[in-house]
């Protein structure tokens, strides 16, 4: 998309954005500012999204999470970069959660918050960014739901651990534990095992079994506290089953967690031995089947928490300065660039404006003009009016053009020039022939005089080519003269009409037949003519007014810039936040207010429709009356015939003039050719005479004098 701005103004911001990305993506949880740098970069991306379209013209690539050796996934969309940055931040929050010391209550609380933030980042990707990705999401984004469940499971585990440390009731601890198990199960049920490492699946499965065992063990403790001895045994047996499944993977687990499993297993075994013995000897309660046990209620104590830097994208502007960090720039990059939403709104406004100007104003005016011209053309107006008492405008133009080009006299002058040039060409040919003939006669005389002593070829054998060429030239000129005579005939035939066109318009008009003043319909005919012409004047005035309105609308559109108004409206709608999305429809009130000036012109153009229709109908009716009155009027028929002849005479004038120009051009070029022929003939004759002089001297030196004579 073009922003009509100088790109060099933003080169520094482009370089800063590249550096900020490179720096932010190198951060780890070991750096205290790692999350802050990533959040600042994410906020810059968010602001960038308010200035540019999402589909940028450059490729953004990220390596798959669990397949780093594969080629990077590439999408040309700014939201893809935001998704991947949030994915990375979710991982960092998860690492921070895992690294906390959960022996203390405060460490457990921090870990819980980190896991909730990780889940919030992942959930925000799915709910707020992926819908605008406008491309098929890479495979990593299929993991969002299960990973949210995994983060929430670990957050709930922190709450469970805190409840254990605070010695809460067995039922409370059981409800928390079973919720943790549910969340680990949700991860396993939503994930395709081939998409994540095997140890992830194994560890989550162990965790699920462990917390199922913990929940049943805590519920068994609650049962014996309430005197439900059979239920205690049933739940201890369920706990044993789940914990045994967890211990089956003990070799691949962390030793500290194996200790937890072992301790729980020992507690279950101890309590189960005691419970079964006491029930057999004392209580003798029936041990219910697992399906007969009441389900353990769940306690949902945590939820995904979107970090503040996402919900409040300007928070980083008030962070403490980092004077030694050149990339810590407390301003949005590209902040001087007009927001993309405003560019979209400008484009929408331009479309609306162009439609009103080009369709409703210019288009409507052209439609009215076309309707008017079509009606007048069908009635042959103004020709049928002018042919009665004036001269048709086209005939006046014809007369002016004829006069401008010299009129009938110019044709006569050109004819005379052609005749002169034609005669000159013939004279040149004749002169050439005479030179050859004279030389031939002299050669014949000398040949008879010297007899056998005259041993050169006769002239006739040497001049054959020249004579043939001269004959061809002569034939060509004769053909040209024939064409000249045809043109002369055209001048003779059309001379009077062309001569009339050569005179002023007033004289042409006076020369034409006209309706006598004493004709019974003379006054009525001229009244109709005046009436029609007055209505034609009204049509022209209305057309001129519409042309001015059209020009006014075009000038308004050419200089109409509402960028500042739309920018102000955008700031009002977003209150400066780059997160709030804008749509062109939100600027509708601004569009309507600004388009009022065009709509005023549009409405004014429409007022001419009925007026023009009425005028055209009136002209049509008057034309019908005029046709009835002028029909079969002999003077008017003769007048129309005379005008038609004059119009034809103009066509003939142009045709004759073209013929004469071509004739003059022909003779001008041909004269040079024939002059060369004449010169060739003279050169031949002179050369032969010199040759004859030499031969005569050799044949009879005593007769040289006679030869010279």
515, pLDDT greater than 90: no
pLDDT of residue 701: 54
Confidence of residue 267 (pLDDT cuts 50, 70, 90): very high
Average pLDDT over every residue of 239-249: 94
Residues 6+ apart with CB under 8 A from 685: 435, 436, 438, 439
| pLDDT band at 332; cut points 50, 70, 90 | confident
Distance CA 519, CA 516 (A): 5
Would you place residue 330 in the very low, low, confident or very high pLDDT band (cuts 50, 70, 90)?
Answer: low
Q: Which of 596, 592, 587, 589 is nearest to 567 (CA)?
A: 587
Residue 312 in contact with residue 533, Cβ under 8 Å? no
> Span 97-122, mean pLDDT?
93
CB 318 within 8 A of CB 328: no
Query: Which residue(s) pair with 633 in the sheet?
Result: none
Mean pLDDT of 10-27: 78
Mean pLDDT of the chain: 88
Highest mean pLDDT among 9-13, 187-191, 290-294, 581-585: 290-294
Please report the domains of the chain, with CATH numbers, ordered by start residue: 168-302 (1.25.40.280), 342-379+527-632 (1.20.120.560), 393-514+646-705 (1.20.140.50)
**Tokens coding 521:** 């319909």
Question: Does residue 467 have a pLDDT over 50?
Answer: yes
pLDDT for 707:
43
pLDDT for residue 27 is more than 80 = no
165 vs 2 pLDDT, higher one: 165
Is residue 506 within 8 A of residue 391, CB to CB? The reply is no
Name the percent of the chain lying above pLDDT 70: 92
**Between 703 and 672, whose confidence is greater?**
672
Q: What does the pLDDT read at residue 29?
A: 66
- Under the banding of pLDDT at 50, 70 and 90, the label for residue 63 is confident
pLDDT tens sequence across 528-542: 999 999 999 999 999
Neighbours of 251 (CB within 10 A): 7
What's the pLDDT score for residue 350?
86
Task: Give the mean pLDDT of 249-265.
Answer: 89
Q: In the prediction, which pLDDT does 706 show?
A: 43
Q: Give the residue with greater pLDDT, 576 vs 18.
A: 18
pLDDT tens, 213-235? 999 999 999 999 999 999 999 99
Q: What is the pLDDT of residue 703?
A: 47
446: nearest Cα among 684, 691, 686:
691
Which pLDDT band, with edges at 50, 70 and 90, does 323 fall under?
low
Q: What is residue 16's predicted lDDT score, i.e. its pLDDT?
A: 79
H helix or E strand, kind and range, residue 405: none
Between 21-25, 27-31, 533-537, the lowest mean confidence (pLDDT) is in 27-31
How large is the average pLDDT for residues 312-322? 66
Higher pLDDT, 418 or 592: 418
Q: What is the pLDDT of residues 471-506, one digit of tens each?
A: 999 999 999 999 999 999 999 999 999 999 999 999
Q: What angle do CA 470, 476, 478 make, to 5 degrees?
A: 100
Cα 700 to chain centroid distance, Å, stands at: 100
pLDDT bracket for residue 4 (50, 70, 90): low
pLDDT of residue 705: 43
Element (H, E) at 644: helix 634-699
Looking at 75-89, 122-136, 566-580, 592-606, which range is the least confident one? Answer: 566-580
The single-letter DSSP state of residue 26 is T
- Look at residue 708 in the predicted model and tell me its pLDDT: 45
Token pair belonging to 682: 């003279």
pTM reported for the whole predicted model: 0.60
pLDDT(240) > 60 = yes
Determine the pLDDT at residue 317. Answer: 65
Share of the chain above pLDDT 90, in %: 58
Number of neighbours of residue 348 by Cβ within 10 angstroms: 17
Residue 192's contacts (CB-CB under 8 Å, 6 or more residues apart) are: 142
Average pLDDT over residues 369-377: 95
């Amino acid at each position: 998309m073009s922003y009509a701005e100088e790109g060099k103004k933003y080169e520094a911001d482009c370089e800063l954005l590249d550096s900020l990305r490179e720096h932010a993506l190198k951060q780890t949880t070991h750096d205290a500012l790692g999350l802050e740098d990533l959040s600042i970069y994410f906020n810059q991306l968010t602001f960038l999204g308010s200035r540019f379209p999402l589909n940028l013209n450059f490729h953004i690539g990220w390596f798959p999470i669990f397949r780093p050796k594969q080629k990077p996934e590439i999408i040309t969309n700014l939201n893809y970069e935001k998704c991947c940055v949030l994915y990375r931040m979710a991982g960092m929050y998860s690492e921070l959660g895992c690294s906390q010391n959960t022996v203390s209550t405060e460490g457990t609380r921090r870990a819980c918050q980190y896991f909730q933030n990780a889940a919030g980042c992942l959930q925000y990707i799915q709910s707020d960014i992926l819908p605008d990705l406008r491309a098929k999401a890479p495979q990593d984004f299929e993991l969002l739901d299960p990973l949210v469940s995994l983060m929430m499971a670990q957050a709930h585990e922190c709450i469970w651990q805190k409840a254990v440390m605070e010695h809460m009731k067995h039922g409370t601890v059981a409800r928390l534990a079973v919720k943790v198990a549910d969340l680990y199960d949700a991860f396993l049920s939503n994930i395709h095992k081939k998409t994540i490492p095997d140890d992830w699946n194994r560890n989550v499965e162990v965790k699920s079994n462990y917390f199922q065992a913990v929940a049943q063990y805590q519920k068994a403790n609650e049962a014996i506290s309430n005197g439900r001895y059979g239920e205690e045994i049933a739940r201890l047996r369920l706990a044993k089953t789940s914990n045994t499944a967890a211990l089956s993977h003990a070799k691949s687990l962390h030793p500290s967690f194996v200790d937890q499993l072992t301790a729980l297993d020992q507690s279950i075994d101890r309590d189960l031995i005691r419970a079964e013995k006491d029930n057999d000897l004392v209580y003798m309660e029936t041990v219910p089947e697992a399906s007969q046990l009441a389900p353990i209620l769940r306690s949902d104590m945590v939820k995904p928490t979107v970090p503040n830097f996402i919900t409040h994208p300007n928070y980083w502007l008030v962070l403490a300065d980092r004077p030694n960090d050149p990339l810590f720039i407390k301003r949005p990059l590209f902040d001087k660039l007009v927001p993309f939403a405003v560019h979209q709104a400008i484009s929408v406004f331009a479309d609306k404006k162009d439609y009103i100007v080009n369709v409703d104003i210019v288009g409507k005016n052209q439609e009215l003009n076309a309707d008017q011209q079509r009606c007048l053309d069908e009635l042959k107006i103004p020709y049928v009016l002018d042919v009665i008492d004036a001269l048709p405008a086209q005939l006046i133009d014809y007369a002016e053009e004829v006069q401008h080009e010299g009129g009938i006299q110019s044709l006569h002058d050109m004819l005379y020039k052609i005749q002169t040039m034609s005669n000159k060409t013939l004279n040149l040919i004749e002169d050439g022939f005479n030179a050859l003939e004279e030389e031939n006669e002299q050669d014949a005389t000398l040949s008879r005089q010297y007899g056998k002593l005259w041993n050169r070829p006769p002239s006739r054998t040497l001049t054959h080519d020249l004579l043939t060429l001269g004959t061809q030239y002569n034939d060509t000129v004769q053909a040209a003269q024939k064409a000249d005579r045809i043109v002369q005939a055209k001048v003779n035939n059309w001379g009077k009409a062309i001569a009339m066109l050569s005179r002023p318009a007033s004289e042409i008009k006076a020369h034409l037949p006209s309706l006598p003043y004493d004709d019974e319909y003379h006054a009525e005919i001229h009244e109709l003519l005046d009436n029609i012409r007055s209505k034609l004047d009204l049509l022209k005035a209305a057309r001129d007014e519409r042309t001015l309105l059209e020009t006014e609308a075009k000038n308004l559109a050419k200089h109409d810039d509402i960028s500042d108004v739309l920018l102000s409206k955008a700031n009002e709608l977003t209150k400066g936040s780059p997160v709030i999305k804008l749509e062109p429809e939100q600027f509708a009130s601004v569009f309507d207010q600004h388009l009022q000036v065009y709509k005023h012109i549009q409405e004014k153009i429409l007022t001419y429709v009925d007026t023009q229709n009425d005028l055209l109908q009136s002209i049509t009716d008057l034309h019908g009356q005029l046709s009835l009155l002028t029909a079969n009027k002999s003077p008017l028929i003769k007048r129309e015939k005379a005008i038609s002849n004059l119009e034809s005479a103009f066509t003939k004038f142009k045709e004759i003039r073209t013929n004469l120009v071509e004739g003059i051009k022909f003779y001008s070029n041909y004269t040079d050719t024939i002059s060369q022929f004449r010169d060739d003939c003279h050169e031949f004759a002179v050369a032969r005479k010199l040759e004859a002089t030499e031969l005569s001297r050799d044949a009879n030196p005593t007769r040289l004098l006679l030869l010279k004579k």
